[in-house]
Structures are given as structure tokens and as C-alpha cells.
Structure 1
Amino acid sequence: MNTRDIIALLLTPGVGRKNVYKILSQYGEEDLTIHHLKEIISNKFYKISSTDLYHFYEKSKRILDWAEKARIDIVDFQNTRYPSSLKAIDDPPLLLFIKGKYEFIKKEENCIGVIGTREPTAYGKEIAKMIGGYLAQKDIGVISGLALGCDTGAHIGCLKHKGKTAAILAHGLNMIYPNENKKLAEEIIAAGGCLISEYFPFEKPKNYSFIERDRLQSGLSKGIIVIETEETGGTMHTVNFARKQNKKIGCMKYSSIFNNYSTLKGNEYILKNMNSVPIKNYSDIDDFIKK
């Protein structure tokens, strides 16, 4: 099976990513024709006509052509360029759409995820920049989500110190969300970093896709560092994925003068209830990287 086969299967209604993974596990080494795939789908899921499957193959070709023109690599699960760290997580993406250079993400020990709320305190914004910059100085890649707030700070700090950073997006790579970070996305690519998505071009961001992409932020990282988060904030999804993936969790520990800020309630919870590492200074970050 090749990339076009995988795309066509993912486009086929009623099949889904997990079932495509099962098909790939069973038939991945075989050179399948459209007729063979039609039989597989019909036997395992529902009767599909050759005309309908041909339609998905044509759409698959258009996606491949679009990616080539847009200088976007499509890396499927079988490809040697696919990050090994993602193969180890539950429900790995079968396809990655990547714009930019991504050699630095192939080994999880080379990367740290830096995450947090979209609405941090002014102090938190600066901390995100400082940590992103410090990791860059240590030649550690920064993984984040290009969201406003802490993500933006981490990317900017990394770029300021000539580091490489990857932004994991919750939509197709034909667009940038939020629009305010379009220039930042361009700077990430120009500096030797990359944008990564598992979604087809022209797929818009949805609530579930932001949660899905969080598993990739932790999956690509040796560990994550939480800057600021509410107890029920979106950042907690990444934290929970990191726990399931047995990744290290670092969390900023702030002075008691910040106790009344809602965006730090999640930090208190993580430090109290999870097997996390409190981060108070650069020395703590050094220890976090080495362990």
C-alpha cells in the first residue's frame, strides 16, 4: 500500500483512522489495486461501488498534487521519515502533512513541548519566551501549538535564540489559525522549523481536532513543560496525553503572590496531584532535560 491508498481509505466514509490502521497492518506490504481495496472495504465494512472508490482515489491524487505544489511533505506511517516517537503512542496519525524542515523532530529526546493557556498573565508570557529561548540555546527543539498566549511565547523565544520549533496544527495546512500568527508561522519555516498537521488540506479547525492534536505535541516530545493553565483548560488534554504516553511532565511553580490567578489553578493541581517536576529556574530545566 502506498500514500495514495492510505489517503483514499481515510477519505472513504465509514472506515476511519483506526480501521485504516488495521488494514495497513494486514496489507501494508502488498501492492493493492483499486479492485483489491474495494473487496477489502466490502468484506470488512460495507458494500462500496468501484465508482465511489474511484472518486476517492481521484480526490487522493488531487491532495497529493496540491501538497507537491505547496511544498508540503506527506509522510505516511510506513515511511522511514515518520517520527518513531509517534509510532509508540495510542492512535497514531497515519499521515503527517509537514511544511518546512523536520529532521529535528525525528527523535523525541531532541524535543520538549512547551504549552499553556491562550490567556496567560503578562509574567507567564515572558516565562514562555524565556523557556523557549533557553531550550533553543541548549539545542533542544520546541514543540507547541501556535495558539495565542503561551504557545506563541514559546515559539517566539525559540526563534529569538536561533532555535528550531515545530507548530502542531489542528487544521489543514492551507491556512493558519489563528490568523494573527500567520507571520509567526512563516518565521518558523524560514528559521528551519516546521508546521505539522494530520488533517487534509482545507479541513477547518474543530473542537475535537484541537484535542486530537494535543496527543502529537506530547508524543513528539521527551517531556512537556506547562507554563500556565486553568484546571479545566485545553492544556490539561496535553498533560493527560503525556501521562498516558509516559512522558515527563514539568510545571512552572510560581510564587504565592500569584495564587489568586485562575490561569494558575491548573499548575497547582498538576504539582499536587501528578508525578510532575516543579520548574522554578533554569537549573530545574537542566535537570528536567537530563533525566
Structure 2
Amino acid sequence: MKCSENALNILTVRSFPQKGPAWIDKNLHGNENLSVLYKLLETNEYEFLKRRDRIESAINQLGNSIDGLVAIGDVDFPHIRGIVKPADKPFALFYKGDISLLNKDNLNVAVIGVLNPDDKIELTERMVTTEILKHNATIISGLALGCDSIAHKTSLERSGKTIAILPSPLDNILPKENVKLAEKIVENGGLLISEYYETPKSRNDMISRFVVRDRLQALFSDAVLLAASYAPNNLGNDCGSRHAMEKAKVYGIKRGVIYNESKHCNIAMYDLNRQILAEDRNVIRIDSTNMSEAVLRLVTTSNEQMLF
């Protein structure tokens, strides 16, 4: 396993009270001398190294489920896209597969959506994802059932690379139904990443990890595409896609939605798509009538668009 002393130190700092992502972003750049860390944390060598040994032992328990750990200050720690507030910035990532897929010069497009798409939604998502792949994009999603799985599988079927961002440690793939899919992603040159090395402490902790995971889909992507999603409601069928779409808007990441007014206006699974289009005129609408042109707008940068 590839893991620098710096990465272990960063995780150790995080284990101290009130030393969250915002504090780390403000006070650390990575590769600080241990004496500097002791002073910043107002602690001593014994306490710091005791915590670090415990964390290193826990990471070693992950075994072959991870290839490495990278943190801020490491050469291969990925750059984020967009303008992200300190509290949202990742500081350490566990990975299995090709971490270079998160390089800033790699075109990454997140494709997300509901857990229970019907056949028509799946067909349309596959068509649009295939069009995105024609631009040498890497597809990012969350390995969930439904639209996430469709995005990953379409990429694999088209010999593309795909990245799965997980809310769980990499030795505990969730959902269990997608363990084989996760293995195929890595076998085909893709990537699995997670911010976690320990199981959640409670049900609420697990739920919060899904929400926190969704922000990574936005900040590691050049664009985020919503295939289909219910809008927030009291029926219990709301999905996490809205969190990634909201974060993409806050970060200044391009957003696209699949939507056709004549076909989808009365379908509940497109409620969020419709709502986002109504609220933000900068969102790119994609359907079968404008697919090539709309996908081109989604995957090109502002500077590239000026050339057309």
C-alpha cells in the first residue's frame, strides 16, 4: 500500500477535537514538521504518535482493498474543480485503482440519478452517457443502484474509464449488490475512492456520509449531469442527486439535466430536473433532439467554447 508519513499525519491531526476540514485547510499545507504539528495542536509527541499508531493499525486492516492513501501535500493528491469553501475540501483519500484519473487535466463528468429508473430513463441515460464518452471523458458516479450503476456500466461497455466515489471504507463496498461492479471498474483501469477507513458510528453517521460523498462528485467533476430524480418531497423517494447538483451550483461547476418537456412534463422521476431548469437558465438541457450539441456544451470549458 502506498501511504506517505504526511498522509498519516494529516489523518492524525483530524482525530483531534475541533480539527475539521476548515481548520486543516487554514493551518496546514502538508509535509509539516512534527514539532510544528505538536505546537498547532497544543499536544505532545506521546499523544500524537499514539493516535497515529492507532490510525495506521486501522488502515492496515483494510489490506488489499486499497492501493493507497493520499493527502494534501502529497504529489498525487488531486486538485479540486470549482470554487470550494474550506469546510467542503477533502484532505485525505483512500483509493483503489488509477488515482491519476482525478488529475485536473482529465475530463471528468459525473452522471447521477434515481435508484429505480424505468426502462425509458435507462435507455436515455445510456445514450447520453455514450455521447459524453465520445469526448474521452471519464464518468464519475456513486456506485449506487439505478442511474449510478447505469453510468458505470455504460462506461465499461464502451471501453471507457469510470470512477466510483463511496460513502464507506473500501473494504466494505456499498451497496453489496455492486461489489462485482466495483471490481470490474478497477480491473478496467478505473478508480474507487473513499474518505473513510472506519465503519460509521451510528445510522445518522452513515446517512451523513452519503450526503458528504455527494459533494465529491461535484468537486472532482468538470460537469454534473442529472439523468432523472424526484424533487424533495414527503414520500420518501427523494434521492441524494440533489445534493451533488446543489454543490455543483455553489462551486460553479457546469450542470446538465436530461429533460424533454413534451415527454417528461408529467413524470415524477423528472421533477428535480424540471425544477432545476426553472430555477437556473444556465443549466444545459439535454434530450434526443439536441444531444450532440448539448453534450458538447457540457464537456467543453469556457475557453474552448469561445472557439466555436
Q: Deviations over 1:44-85 (max 9, x none)?
A: xxxx57654333111122245345644422111112212222
Q: Are 2:13 and 1:9 aligned?
A: yes
What is the SS of the residue equivalent to 1:129?
helix
Q: Aligned AA for 1:83? A: P
Q: Could you say which residue in structure 2 is the equivalent of 1:253?
A: 259
Q: Aligned AA for 2:22? A: K
What is the SS of the residue equivalent to 1:2?
helix
How high is the TM-score relative to the length of structure 1? Answer: 0.88
Q: Percent of counterpart pairs with the same letter? A: 28
Q: Contact 1:252–1:267 (CA<8 Å) still a contact in 2?
A: yes
Q: Aligned AA for 2:256? A: G
- Per the alignment, do residues 132 and 108 of structure 1 end up closer, same or farther by CA in structure 2, a change over 3 Å counting? farther
Q: Contact 1:229–1:266 (CA<8 Å) still a contact in 2?
A: yes
Q: Contact 2:245–2:255 (CA<8 Å) still a contact in 1?
A: yes
Q: Aligned AA for 1:231? A: A
Matched pairs, number:
282
Q: Could you say which residue in structure 1 is the equivalent of 2:299?
A: 289
How high is the TM-score relative to the length of structure 2? Answer: 0.83
In structure 2, how many angstroms separate the alpha carbons of the residues matched to 1:259 and 1:114?
Answer: 21
In structure 2, how many angstroms separate the alpha carbons of the residues matched to 1:68 and 1:21?
Answer: 29
For the aligned residue pairs, the C-alpha RMSD in angstroms reads 2.3
Q: Contact 1:173–1:201 (CA<8 Å) still a contact in 2?
A: no
Q: Are 2:161 and 1:164 aligned?
A: yes
Q: Contact 2:6–2:74 (CA<8 Å) still a contact in 1?
A: no
Q: Aligned AA for 2:19? A: V
Q: Aligned AA for 1:176? A: I
Unaligned runs of 5+ in 1: 43-47
In structure 2, how many angstroms separate the alpha carbons of the residues matched to 1:70 and 1:157?
Answer: 24
Q: Which has the higher contact order (CA 8 A, sep 6+)?
A: 2
In structure 1, how many angstroms separate the alpha carbons of the residues matched to 2:135 and 2:117?
Answer: 25
Q: Aligned AA for 2:6? A: N
* Deviation at residue 39 of structure 1 after TM alignment: 3.7
In structure 1, how many angstroms separate the alpha carbons of the residues matched to 2:10 and 2:252?
Answer: 29
Unaligned runs of 5+ in 2: 233-237
- Per the alignment, do residues 179 and 64 of structure 1 end up closer, same or farther by CA in structure 2, a change over 3 Å counting? closer
Q: Could you say which residue in structure 1 is the equivalent of 2:278?
A: 272
In structure 1, how many angstroms separate the alpha carbons of the residues matched to 2:50 and 2:150?
Answer: 43
What is the SS of the residue equivalent to 2:80?
helix
In structure 1, how many angstroms separate the alpha carbons of the residues matched to 2:92 and 2:69?
Answer: 7
- Per the alignment, do residues 88 and 32 of structure 1 end up closer, same or farther by CA in structure 2, a change over 3 Å counting? farther
